[in-house]
Amino acid sequence: MKTTLFSKNRNEKNYELFFESDELHRVQYLLETKQFGELSELQSSEDEDTGIKLKLSLAERGKLVTAQLFEYIMSAYEAVSPIMTFRNKEAVALSGAVTLDE
C-alpha cells in the first residue's frame, strides 16, 4: 500500500493510500466491516494516476478519522463511496492499521 502525507497542520493530518483497481470492493468491505488491519495486505498501486485512492483525514490526535474512496476514471479521481467517519477506538484502529509515512 502506497501512503502519502499530503497535508499536515496542528490539528489534522491528511493521507492518500493507493491500491490497484481490482481491490475496490475489498477495500470497501474492509472499511465497512472495520477490518482495518487487513488493508496493509492489499495490492498497492505505485502509480498515483490509476487505480483506487483512499483519502484519510485524522483529527483529534487520531481519535476521529474520515475516509473516502475514489476511483481513477477518465484522467481524474471520482468518489465511489460516501465519506465514512470513525471515532474513538475505531479511529485509533484505522489510523494504526496503515503505515503512515511522515
The per-residue pLDDT for range 2-57, each reduced to its tens digit, is 555 555 666 788 888 899 989 999 999 999 999 998 988 887 877 777 789 999 99
End-to-end C-alpha distance for the chain, whole angstroms? 15
Give this prediction's pTM. 0.80
Q: Identify which of 52, 22, 41, 25 has the alpha carbon closest to the alpha carbon of residue 98.
A: 41
Q: Write the DSSP assignment of 46-94 as a string of letters.
A: S-TTSSEEEEEEEEGGGTEEEEEEEEEETTEEEE-S--EEEEHHHHHHH
